Amino acid sequence: MNQQQYYRWWQREDLCYQQGHLYFAGKAVEGLATQCGTPAFIYSAPRVQDNLLRLRTSLNQAGFAKRFSLYYAMKANRFAPLLAMLKQSGLCGIDACSPAEIELAVSCGFAPAEISFTASSLSTRDLDVITRYDGLCMNCDSLHAIHQWGQRKPHTTIGLRVNPGMGIGRVDNDKLQYAGSQTTKFGIYWQQFAEALAVAAQYNLEVDTIHFHTGCGYLTEQLHRLERIIAHCFCFIEKVGTIKYVNIGGGLGVPHLPADAPLDLERWTMVLQRQFGATDLHLRIEPGDYIVKDAGLLLLEKTFVEKKRGDHLCRCRRGVQHCSGACLLHPPLSAPASSLQPRAMHNQDSGGQYK
């Protein structure tokens, strides 16, 4: 990849170079670094809202108006001002996976009925906390969880998180898949599903939701796997007979590399239309990375550059150790003039197209 390609592929209307200086959300990043100091993480609320609106628009256009709910997977970013902004927007609920996340979401204004809760390996203390919240959308992912919930909250409704034995992930990376040939802790397998229903019946629990979340970071090329997973999960839905909601989890990805094309939302919604269009099931979707991953910048201070074994290594002061392979390391606050030729921006609008 040449220098111009490196500086161009990730730019969009609200993240780009203007007259040689990097701008984000209409502000010069150099000025933000001076104002906030480094390291600092800065957010764009309009970008977060645009990402949510893009999903909502695509689902509405595909015929799912009033038949879907979005729940932001707050493990992607738990920053309280971000959560408060999401609540004020009215665009989504919250997907939580720990009692502390429930408490944080409620403190930011979300009602328990706006929270979808799914977690593994819940302790007695955890269950004592979450059962205080009436109206919570509870998804049990083990026989143990059903027993414990039933003992505390009989005659209520629950969801069951299932494991279809197949996963999905970025570039078919099995490390990003939560289900597959290898047994995992996530969800109830078909072999235990009848027993799970029997345990729910023991406590007069109505199962109204089937939940499955089988991987993360998938893009357009992996949509065929998503369709196979959904089709397979209908065996769980049909076995219950009282299902009103299907929670397909999250996992929607964003580009990481120049070769990555953005997730084609029209094709994504076509998968959902083929599988659910003829049903009256209500979809629940839990995007996380797709909502916030491209809506923030980590501002770092370069400490020094050193050559080792023929490679130039840039060392930064970032305040925390993190895996750089899981993030995009953006170029500096200014760029060579040769890299700043005018071009068409590549940014998704609310209609699902990049422009």
Q: Is residue 347 situated within a structural domain?
A: no
Asked whether residue 31 falls in the same domain as residue 85, the answer is: no
**Per-residue model confidence as pLDDT tens digits over 261-308:** 999 999 999 999 999 999 999 999 999 999 999 999 999 888 899 999
Domain that holds residue 315: 3-39+297-339
Q: Phi and psi at residue 163, in whole multiples of 5°?
A: -120, 110
Which residues neighbour 265 within 8 Å (Cβ) at sequence distance 6 or greater? 54, 55, 58, 348, 352
Asked whether residue 314 falls in the same domain as residue 218, the answer is: no
Output the domain CATH number for residue 136: 3.20.20.10
Say what the pTM is.
0.86
- Only one residue has tokens 């109204």, namely 208
How crowded is residue 211: how many other Cβ atoms within 10 Å of its Cβ? 26
Asked whether residue 221 falls in the same domain as residue 203, the answer is: yes
Q: Is residue 353 situated within a structural domain?
A: no
Asked whether residue 159 falls in the same domain as residue 283, the answer is: yes
Q: Confidence class of residue 2 from pLDDT cuts 50, 70 and 90?
A: low
Asked whether residue 197 falls in the same domain as residue 118, the answer is: yes
Asked whether residue 33 falls in the same domain as residue 130, the answer is: no
**Per-residue model confidence as pLDDT tens digits over 84-115:** 999 999 999 999 999 999 999 999 999 999 99
Asked whether residue 253 falls in the same domain as residue 132, the answer is: yes
Count of domains forming the chain? 2
Which residues neighbour 74 within 8 Å (Cβ) at sequence distance 6 or greater? 83, 94, 95, 96, 101, 104, 105, 288
Q: Is residue 350 situated within a structural domain?
A: no
Asked whether residue 143 falls in the same domain as residue 224, the answer is: yes
Asked whether residue 13 falls in the same domain as residue 147, the answer is: no
**Per-residue model confidence as pLDDT tens digits over 63-83:** 999 999 999 999 999 999 999
Asked whether residue 96 falls in the same domain as residue 203, the answer is: yes
Asked whether residue 256 falls in the same domain as residue 176, the answer is: yes
Q: Is residue 34 situated within a structural domain?
A: yes
Residue 344 pLDDT > 60, yes or no?
no
Asked whether residue 262 falls in the same domain as residue 146, the answer is: yes
